[in-house]
Each structure stands twice: as C-alpha cells, then as structure tokens.
Structure 1
Amino acid sequence: MTELTGPAQQHLAAIDPEPFAGTTQPRRSLQARLTLFYATGIYLAGLGILAIVTIPLTGLQKTTAVDSNTPGVLSGTGQGIDPHQLMIGSTIALVLLIPIAWAAGWYVAGRFLRPLRAVTATAKAISAGNLHQRLALGEPTDELTELGSILDDLFARLEASFTAQRHFVANASHELRTPLAGLRTLLEVALADPDADAATLRSVCQEALALGEHQERLVQALLTLATSERGVARWETFDLADLVAEVLVSHREQATQAGLHLGEHLAPAAMSGDARLIQSLITNLVDNAVRYNHSGGLVDITTRAAGNEVTLSVTNSGPVIPDDQLHRLFQPFQRLAPDRSGRRESYGLGLAIVKAVADAHHAALTTTARAEGGLSITVRFTPAT
C-alpha cells in the first residue's frame, strides 16, 4: 500500500494528528464533556420542575370536619405540608435524577458523536494509505452527514490525484528515459568503432544534439504543465484576440507548408488572467490542430465576447476520433492519432496543458469530435468571482 507523504500527510494529520505526532497532555473525551453538559441541563431542568411543583405545596393545609366522614378539603391557609417530609422526598428525587441525567446525557452524546467516530476511524485508515475507503455516513441528513459527504468528496479527489500522479511519474520517467537511452547507445557505438573518422564523429554529434533538443523540449513541456497546474499567479487584463494573432504568426507558415487552410475570425475579446498561461493554451491548441491534420484540411480559430463571457474556439479536420476516447486526449502522454509529419515530436502533453490552464482560470472546456474527422475545442472564460 502506498504511504502518504508531504502535503497530503500534513492535511490528514490535521484531521487526526494522533497517528503522526504524540501529545503530552491527557486526552479528554468529547463524549464525557458533552455528557456533563447534557446531564447538567437535564438535572437543572428536573430541579426547576421539582421546585415549581413543591413550592406551592408548602402553603396548602389539609383539613377534616369534626364528626364527619367527608373527605378532607384543601385550603390556601394554614401550616401546609410537613417541610421535613417534603425535604426528604425532594432529596430522594434529586438523588435519583443524577444517574438518570448522566445516563441520558451519555446516550444522547454517543448518538451525536457516532458519525464523528466514523470520520476519525476512516481518517486513520486513510492515513495508512487506504485512499479507496469512504465514510458513507448515510441517513439521517444533518450537519454531520453533510460534513461526511464533503470529506468523501475530498478523499475521492485525493485518490484520483495520487493515482494520476503515479501514472504521470511513470510515464514521464519512460519518456525521459527513451532519449537518454538513445543518446547512450549512440555514443557507445561511436566510441566502440576504431575506424571512426571526423565525419562519422560529426554525424554522431549532430544526432546527439538532436536527441538533446528532444529531451529539452520534453522537459520544457513538463515544466509548462506543472506551472499550469499550480494555478494563476497573477491576474492582468488583455485582449484574447491579440494573443491569438501573435501565436498564429509563428504557425501560419507551418500550416501553409502542410497544405492547410487557416481561417481566422478574431473579434476583440477583453479578459483577465495570466497572459503567459493563456498564450501557452492557445499555442498548444493551434499546434495540436496543425499537427494532427491532413493535407488540404482546415484549421479555424475564433474569438468572441458576449456579455462577461469570452470564448476561444479551435476547429480542425483530421482523423475520426471516437466519442468514448475524447477524455483520453486531455491526459498526459496520450496520443490517439499519429503525427501527420511522421516524426515523433509530440509528447502527448499539449491538450493536458490546455486543460490545466483552463482549470486554473476556472474556464469551461468543451470538446466535440467532428463526424467528418477532427476536433472542435471551445474554451469559455468567465470573470473570476
């Protein structure tokens, strides 16, 4: 089972610090304190009722007529009930009320704390690595079960995050190992050749540089993805259409060489966000549309503003993509279609970066597979609240 470390451990330690740190102070039971609170309330309530009942009785007197069998009647004057007997009866009632109040308070406190015990036990289990476990408090619906539901959602997100992190690390390790292994093999073969001349060594150096550039671009893509997932560091106002126009300058020649028709419909669209991250989003969307396309195809980019909403749409032709595979496009290192250039220059990180930037800006990301092939991706930005 995977052990939790770092921020995750600190977060779970905040839920139940006992598994992670000792304490020098004696542990006071919350149920005992609640029991004392409830028992005191019940006892005071019983004392008040007893006082309300007994105090008026002290002013009553029972009288009986002389030489008469008629039952006695009560009058409001006289000496009243014997105070000694009343004191004895009241004392007995108060003594009996103590264990009753304590038992009732203990039962009520236990019933209210039952969901908290479930939360504590599950938090301890999860801290040991059982991220699949859930509270599932069920009915009745109240503040505690609502808290349990929120924690279940939190645990589900933690499990998904750790699972995605493990997959990402494994895939990144594989992707980084491939160019390193190729570079090592290339150099070993060159060194093992006793007849290698200057031209051969120059060719080897050129291939080594190409592999190094490939690895450098991969590391840069990984850094961009990590920066995007970190969130928006600063908010600034800019025109989305201007950013798109800047990105298209570097892609227009590439699209022309590939025989693609590049359509632009750039209406002014002022928005707030991190301009550097948004430029990365646009670059990866356009690059994906150009890379996974076919000769004679199209790439259409649109920006528009409607009220407080700013929309960026990128539509491209290309291979047919099944609807049930669309979710894979935004996962790191996923490639559903071959690169049209035939070269392995894609790392499967472009749309993952797009999703990370969109999430950081709280934007809605919609992807549609076109029946004739290709994709239509729309990002809707709304003002941050």
Structure 2
Amino acid sequence: MSRGRFAARPGFRLRLTLVFFAVFVVAAAALLIIEYGVVSALFDRSLANAFVITPAEMNDPSAVSDPSATSWIVQSGDGAFLDSNAGSTVSIVADAQAATRDEVLNGLVLWSALALVAFSALGSAVAWWLAGRPLRRIRDVTALAQNISEHDLTDRLALTGPRDEIRLLGDTFDDMLARLQVAFESQGVFIANASHELRTPLAVIRTSLEVALRRPHIAGDVRTGIERALRANERSESLISSLLTLAGVQNAERPSKSSQRLLPLLCGEIDAYAEQALQRDIVVLNACPPSVRAMIDTSLFALLFTNLLSNAIRYNQYAGSITIECEQRADKAVLVISNTGEMLAEPVTDLVKPFHRGTSTRLSNQIGGSLGVTPGSGLGLAIAASAADALGGTLSLEPRNGGGMRAEVVLPCSE
C-alpha cells in the first residue's frame, strides 16, 4: 500500500473517536427501543387496571330493565363506581386511554431522542479527549523516531506515568537507542584506530620504495618493479582513504548547516579539478546562477560535489563535456551534473553501491595513471550518496540521452 493511500485515511484518533461514538449511539438506541417497549407495555397494563368495564347484569341482573338494551358499570381502579348507563361511556374511556398512551409515548420518544443527540455530542467530545491521552504519548515516540539518526543518538523519551503498554514501549525504545549509541561509538573508535594502523605501514612502504628508487644505479627491471609497487601502494592508500571517508561520513556527528550560495563553492572545486579535465580535453560548463542557496555544511557539500565531478571526469570520453546546472525549486535547491560518455546498459542505481564500478565498457573509458589520475576505487558515488543523505538531501542517477550519466542532487533550503 502506498504512502498516499495511507495519507488519505482519517487519523487514528478520529477513527477511534468514531468507533466510540458508534458504540455509544448503538447502545443508546438499543436502550431507547427497549425503554419504549417496556414503557408501552407497562402503560397498557396500568390503563387496563385503571377502569374495569363490565355489563350491569353481571353485577346485578335485576338492574336490566330492557333485555334489548345493554347497561354498563364502570369501576375505577380505586373501587369507585362511575355512573354509566350508555354504551358511549366505554368509547369515551377507551379514547381517553389511547390518547393518554400516545401522548406519553410520543413525549418519551421526543425527549429520549433529544437526550440521545445531546449525550452523543458530549460522548464524542469525551471520546476525543480519551483517545488523545494515550495517543499523545505515542506521538512522542513517533517524533523522537523521526528525529533520531545515526548522527545523534543521545535523545531519550523518558516517559512518565503509569507503567502501561505505552510506557513499556517507550522504555524499550530508550533501551534500543542506548544500545545503538554504544555500537556506533565503538564503531567510531574502531575507524579512528584503523585509520592510524592502516595508513602508517603504507606510508612507511611508500617512503622505502621512494628511497630505493632514488638510488643512482638500479637495474631496469628492478626500477620497473619498484614503480609498479609504488603505484599499487598509491592505490591502496587511495582505497583506504576512501573507505575511511565513507565510514566517517556515515558515522559523523550531525553536521552544522547554514544557508550558503552554491556558485562560489562550485567554482572553487571546479578550479581544483581543471587540470584533470584539461588532460582529456573535457569542457566543464558551469551554468549555476548566483542566487541559488541551500542549507549545507560546506565540507560535506565539497565532499559530495568533488566525488561527483571526479566521477564525471574519470568516466567521460576524450574531448567530452560536463554540464553543471542548479536551480531553486520551492524550498529545495537542485544541483545537476551531466557528463558525456558511453551508453550505460546497466541499472545506474547500482553505481552508488560500494566497489561497484560498472561494466567493462564503462571502465574502459577510465583515465589511466599516465594522465595523472589513478583508477577509481568504486567508492566515489557511495561517498557522494552518503554525504547527500547527511545533508538531508538525496542523490539520484540516471542515464543521459546520447550516453553518459546525469546525477541530480536535491538539497533543503531550510531546516
């Protein structure tokens, strides 16, 4: 089920209130029907006992002077005799009984219906209030879950009140956050230690090889082997640096963001990569207007853009082009980097996965070490995606018409 279908449904509090309201109305209506039946039966019984109408001859046969005429004796419930010697008395009493019965029952229905409406409204208000009390605590859990991230695990719910199911949920959530915080802090310590332990021996190896390479008398095959070892060492250092950068971005503290104009930042990074683009005669066109702003951390944005720009250069064709565009869309800033190149026959979304460098066709266009650019490690787009996520934005990739790739970054303009 899509998110849109969920959004179209009424809220849980409203649905719970409607359930309470429906149960109340059904119960009250059933009570009204039962009350109507009981009162009607009791009223009929009471009226039947109020007047006893019998033929006169049943009480005193000698009272009947004319056998063809019918004489009646009407006796009230308290035993008093009413003078009646005509059949019209029976009709009058019966009509009075029916009128009284209808008046009482109609009044009962009217006032019961009015009471039902009034108490239904009151019951709905009480149901809304009762439904909101537990849901308020659930909203606290939801708000914290929405704001929490791997960059900040220090917040806790610390729910108070009775130890019911909702408080148990909050306490369980707090315990989970505490365990996650310990795990991420341990991972950060491991990354710091790994950074030192992995880089130090590689730096020692590189220094030793460079010293050996500077000796005046080295055989040609030995020199070739040392140069090959230096290139392998350089790639290992680049790979470790990229891995640590990726891990650092994914586990960094929440960035301190501010509103920044994108154009100066883009121009500075483009100048830094101008030599690499010039080596393959690649034209970089910056079409970003100066007015576009985004809420960013400058170091994270530089990491995001440089990895996208480096990828666009490395996997471009000779004498190709790179176009950089940006625009303001409502409360979002959109940055688009398009580069020429071979047609991509694979799902480009896989390229943001670590160590996924694409097909052999894509790799065949990669700049070699002879041009001063080392082959890619397959982590550039993964780092860019993680940086975009840390900035509260998104990175999407798609094949470019005519070959190459189009990368679109959407960044927020406000907190």
TM range, smaller chain = 0.3 to 0.5
In the superposition, the TM-score normalised over structure 2's length comes to: 0.44
Q: Which has the larger radius of gyration?
A: 2
